[in-house]
Amino acid sequence: MRNKRVVIALGGNAIQQGKDATAGAQIRAVEATAQSLVALIEEGVDVIITHGNGPQVGNLILQQAAADSAATPAMPLDVCGAMTQGMIGYWFENALTKALRSRGLERSVAPIVTRCVVDPNDSAFSHPTKPIGPFYSEAEASALERSTGHVFKEDAGRGYRRVVPSPYPTAICEHTVIRDLVDNGHIVVASGGGGIPVIDTPDGYVGVEAVIDKDFAAAKLAELVEADMLLILTAVEHVYVNFGTTEEAALTETTNEQLETYIAEGQFAPGSMLPKVRAALQFAESGTGRVSVITSLEQAHAAVRGDVGTRVRLAATLQQ
């Protein structure tokens, strides 16, 4: 019998905590994250780690724009995504090796630069919604729209940010390589930042200016590598209904049917918990026996044991 296979989707707090965007601060955050995950590996769980890259790719785009010239032209968004995948993958490679050695374990860690296929006709391309980069005033955003052609939208009362298309991932180019690595006992870091969005053409894959939601990419990856669990780690231990009211309640065991009802009621915020809930649904519905869990990074080990978190299963599975 093979080991339990878990795809872990890490939130932004796993890489950058607060406003300190220096390499040293982010490395320290990644090292703390690695220590939280190494207990799973020590118990024999096969893990595939995915992560966001929002702050990192936003900062990189600013650096590219600041240095843009004929001699050093700015790189497009898909290339910046690939660059941050490599950077963050390198940090995790070092941090996980360090955490493993602290427990007397020697395992290979393999970061994979990952491409996610999207449909060129996805409606997201005509309705950009994914915010990236820093906040601007309304006047600054208007000036930037005129000078760059980029689209800016107001973001939750905090200012204006550039928004880009966020198409749905239909396939992951490297999933067979990732599955082979896990089958042979290696720890894999993949689909960073949702993966590099590409379209499939007769001549090969071509990158596009977009950002894929990391949780949807993690769900697709978990499906393709035949994982047992998708573990979505965020800032809270559970998903809540009636959040912020006197009737607030944490969800523990729930089903795809129950979550669909809660979504229809508007229980989950579109910019935060709703994508995570939809990704959890996507994986739970992808095959019999598959479980999605949403919880905090600090509770990752307990969540895999079944002690904490919001667990999502097929309703039909529970009725058997």
Q: What is the C-alpha to C-alpha distance for residues 316 and 283, in angstroms, rounded to an integer?
A: 15
Cβ 193 vs Cβ 221: under 8 Å: no
Q: Catalytic positions, please? A: 12-13, 130, 214, 276
Tell which residue, 223, 178, 213, 189, has the closest CA to residue 94: 189
Among 198, 52, 185, smallest CA distance to 131 is for 52
Taking every pair of Cα atoms in the chain, the longest distance, rounded to a whole number of angstroms, is: 65
Tell me the residue type at 51: H
In which residue are the tokens 């689209």 written?
Answer: 151
The Cα angle at residue 192 between residues 191 and 193, in degrees rounded to 5 = 115
Quickly count: other Cβ atoms within 10 Å of residue 28's Cβ.
15
Integer angstrom CA distances of residue 245 from 55, 248, 300: 31, 5, 27
d(CA 282, CA 246): 30
Distance CA 104, CA 94 (A): 15
Q: Distance (Å, rounded) from C-alpha 45 to C-alpha 38?
A: 10
Q: Where are the alpha helices (DSSP H) in the chain?
A: 23-42, 54-66, 77-101, 138-148, 175-183, 214-224, 256-264, 273-284, 300-305, 315-319
